[in-house]
Amino acid sequence: TTDRGAAALNDYARSNDPFTRVGRQQVAVEVSSIIRASPDSFRVAWSERHYENGQLSTTERWTAILTIVIQTPRDAERLRANPLGIYVNAINWSREMSQ
Predicted local confidence at residue 70, as pLDDT: 95
3.30.470.10, 3.30.300.130, 1.10.760.10, 3.10.450.230: CATH of 3-17+24-94: 3.10.450.230
Inter-residue contact 85 to 70 (CB < 8 Å): yes
Query: Would you say how long the chain is, in residues?
Result: 99
Task: Domain ranges for the chain, please list them.
Answer: 3-17+24-94
Inter-residue contact 65 to 42 (CB < 8 Å): yes
Predicted local confidence at residue 13, as pLDDT: 86
**DSSP bridge pairs for 35:** 43
Per-residue pLDDT of the chain (99 residues; tens, 9 = 90+): 889 988 988 888 888 887 887 878 899 999 999 999 999 999 999 999 999 988 999 999 999 999 999 999 999 999 999 999 999 999 999 999 875
